[in-house]
A and B are shown apart, each in its own frame.
Chain A
Amino acid sequence: DIQMTQSPSSLSASVGDRVTITCRASQSISSYLNWYQQKPGKAPKLLIYVASSLQSGVPSRFSGSGSGTDFTLTISSLQPEDFATYYCQQSYSIPWTFGQGTKVEIK
């Protein structure tokens, strides 16, 4: 199985901060990498697919980059509604796997 490791596991940030979350795959997954946002009690929401493509309706302050084993999700200017848990997910090989999540909290 491909292991997806996110860092950090949690972070505290202020509104307006630039936030970067990293996701590392245990082997190359090309660009088969998606990012999701989940708020408490809610279903995950797709933010980024194919490593860097912004899902329709998602604000442009979210961006993704990377290929191979190292990927990044960046929020350029953190907004109050962005406090949530973020997951990366690989769809390169079965079983599809998720990172453990990164919780973004208010500083």
Chain B
Amino acid sequence: QLQLQESGPGLVKPSETLSLTCTVSGGSISRSSYYWGWIRQAPGKGLEWIGHIFYTGTTYYNPSLKSRVTISVDTSKNQFSLNLSSVTAADTAVYYCARLPPHADSSAYYYAFDIWGQGTMVTVSS
């Protein structure tokens, strides 16, 4: 059974870089047509899509974060990672990683986050 687990520091100082890793177990991150994504949720707030990546390295980012975010993949370790630079208190949130399998019909591919990690709380504070 596929599982995702986020890991990384729970406390990051303002202006520094937040770095998280999502480890995929029970299946290969290189499986054809799957994307892998990051989503965050500030305390008491809703969900915000950060971006997602294909195992070949193709990425899509939220334009509101694009200048600060990098998502990368390491197929040898079955992991993908999130780097968010120049963080502020507004980046304090629970960060989730999730899988994006394709659902196809005759004309298009559709994507939804079907398997999620448990989430990891990251606080930005000095």
Contacts and interface: CB of A to CB of B under 8 A. Distances in A.
Interface in A78-107: 87, 89, 91, 94-101
A63 interface: no
Contact of A43 (B60, B103, B105, B118): B118
B110 A98 contact: no
Nearest to A94: B60
Q: Is the interface of B mostly helix, strand, loop or mixed?
A: loop
B112 interface: yes
Q: For the complex, would chain A's binding face be called helix, strand, loop or mixed by DSSP majority?
A: loop
A42 B105 CA distance: 31
Given A98-B48, A99-B46, A100-B46, A46 B112 contact: yes
A23 to B, nearest CB: 13
B10 interface: no
Contact of B96 (A43, A94, A98): A43
A87 B46 contact: yes
